[in-house]
Amino acid sequence: MIFSDLEIISPILKAIKEQGYEAPTPIQAKAIPTLLEGNDLLGSAQTGTGKTAAFTIPLLQQLYISKSKKKKKGRRVVKALIISPTRELALQINENISNYSKYTGAKSVVIFGGINQRKQTSALQNGADILVATPGRLLDLIGQGYIRLNHINYFVLDEADQMLDMGFIHDINKIIAKLPEKRQSLFFSATMPETVIELSNQILNNPKRIRIAPKQTTAERVAQSLYYVSKAEKASLLKHLIDENIGVSILVFSRTKHGADKIVKSLDKSNIKSEAIHGNKSQNARQKTLQRFKKSKFSVLVATDIAARGIDVTKLSLVINYDLPNVAETYVHRIGRTGRAQESGEAITFCSSGEKGYLDDIQKLINQKIPVISDHPFHNQKEADAPKGKKHKKPENRSKNKSSKSKNARKKPSTLKGKFKKKPGKKSNFKGSFKRKKRNE
């Protein structure tokens, strides 16, 4: 199948071609025709499947067609609203919209918290067709009178599961209550637990369902391995792996901001250049760091989960989980940062004895045992044999286990070589049992 089979108008086809896309991805092939017919959509799909283009292309096409029908010209009013859980993802969606709308004349504005609102409010005052927003800043600017949602006829809620995990349910309900009843609504989520389905029922009207990549797919696609290591030796193991993978772009996940800074400092002592992105860094600093990483100015990026959500770095070959996440689904999101758009990828996970409860949850979720690599200089059998202890207690091991270095440590523990390569009319009354989770980002 090619894009022109999907009856996409030429200004969009031209822009897609410039992006180097040759054929629609499965979600694009399924979603674009049904969205062009005006249906609501419930999409079960992960990042990396091309879902941004799947919802943006029909939006741009509908805006283009309705614009050419209208004679009157005036200031643009926001007709499409896309909600994303994180700033990074919002920026990325907006960047994609700019790419695909190059020849349609549609204008989009992105708003998110953590930075001064002035630039965002003046962009809004200049008029926009599409608004990409994180929930908090959106409600804030609605409250201040900068945004009205009464002309929205295309509404997208992206990464719904993450949105709920982050405790945004009340914000989302407030936003939905402000939308016009007559609209087209799209709802995307990587996973579809009961709570997410319940929320989708509040938003969608007789939706078409598209299920693309079940959550196991990322786990199957990405080559995973597990390294048992004491907490004290994680830094040394990390250095060892970086040395083994010179020139490879590596994303290292830390559970906490403080932990991320510590990793950067420790690598610095070994003359390994790395940078961290997390919630304590200004939005500008985070974006600059990310851009430099994308341009391969340095090869090790250390990130916390929320800061890393939605990061799309082509050719990111290796994800290292320095700490295990305390929410199992986060593991899938993390490893999904690699192996995107049909590239192969690898994920290495460090596990100390105190983290074994989390590991258990993850292995249950992905329905597979992550293969253990013991043949490395920092393998610690005590950590591997330790009982998993109480689930969800403090994740890190406080014991003073001395590491037992493997005598016959293999030079290359993990090879990357050769691989790389509301229903309308229905008021939102969703009362999920979500409490705002403590953000450790």
Residue numbers at the binding site for ligand AMP (CB under 6 A): 21, 24-25, 28, 47-53, 312, 314, 340-341
Looking at beta carbons only, is 99 or 195 nearer to ligand AMP? Answer: 99
**Number of other residues whose CB lies within 10 A of the CB of residue 198:** 13
**C-beta of 52: minimal distance to ligand AMP in Å?**
3
Between 187 and 378, name the residue whose CB sits nearer to ligand AMP. 187
Instruction: Give CA–CA dist 81/147, Å, rounded.
Output: 11
Closest listed residue to residue 51, CA positions, set 4, 106, 101, 89: 89
Shortest distance, position 140 Cβ to ligand AMP, whole Å = 26
Q: With respect to ligand AMP, which residue has the nearer C-beta, 91 or 141?
A: 91
Q: How far is the CB of 212 from ligand AMP (least distance, A)?
A: 10
- Least separation in angstroms between residue 312's CB and ligand AMP is 5
Q: How far is the CB of 45 from ligand AMP (least distance, A)?
A: 8
Which residue, 20 or 145, has its beta carbon nearer to ligand AMP? 20
Q: Which is nearer to ligand AMP, 48 or 325 (CB)?
A: 48
Rounded Cα gap, residues 426 and 182, in angstroms? 10
CB of 354 to ligand AMP, least distance (A): 34
In the complex, the smallest distance separating the C-beta of residue 263 from ligand AMP, rounded to whole angstroms, is: 26
Contacts of 291 (CB under 8 A, 6+ apart): none
User: Smallest distance from the beta carbon of 73 to ligand AMP, in angstroms?
Assistant: 32
Q: Which is nearer to ligand AMP, 51 or 231 (CB)?
A: 51
Classified as helix, coil or strand, 119 is helix
Sheet holding 300-303, edge to edge: 222-228, 345-351, 318-321, 250-253, 300-303, 274-277
Rounded to whole angstroms, how far apart are CA atoms 110 and 260? 28
Residue 237 CA to residue 254 CA, distance in Å, equals 14
Q: Min. distance of Cβ 56 from ligand AMP in angstroms?
A: 9
Quick check: 34 and 208 in contact, CB under 8 A? yes
When the beta carbons of 52 and 289 are compared against ligand AMP, the nearer one is: 52
Burial label for 419, CB within 10 Å (0-12, 13-18, 19+), is middle
Query: At CB < 8 A and 24+ separation, what contacts does 2-6 make?
Result: 6/32, 6/33, 6/36
Give the CA angle between residues 274, 277, 282 to the nearest 5°: 125
Which of helix, strand or coil describes residue 286? helix
Only one residue has tokens 């009843």, namely 181
Strand order in the sheet with 80-83: 108-111, 130-133, 80-83, 154-157, 184-189, 41-44, 208-211
Nearer to ligand AMP, 323 or 329 (CB): 329
Q: Which is nearer to ligand AMP, 336 or 357 (CB)?
A: 336
Residue 25: CB minimum distance to ligand AMP, A:
5
How far is it, in rounded angstroms, from Cα 397 to Cα 393? 10
| E strand segments, 195-280 | 208-211, 222-228, 250-253, 274-277
Q: Please say which residue, 22 or 385, places its beta carbon nearer to ligand AMP.
A: 22
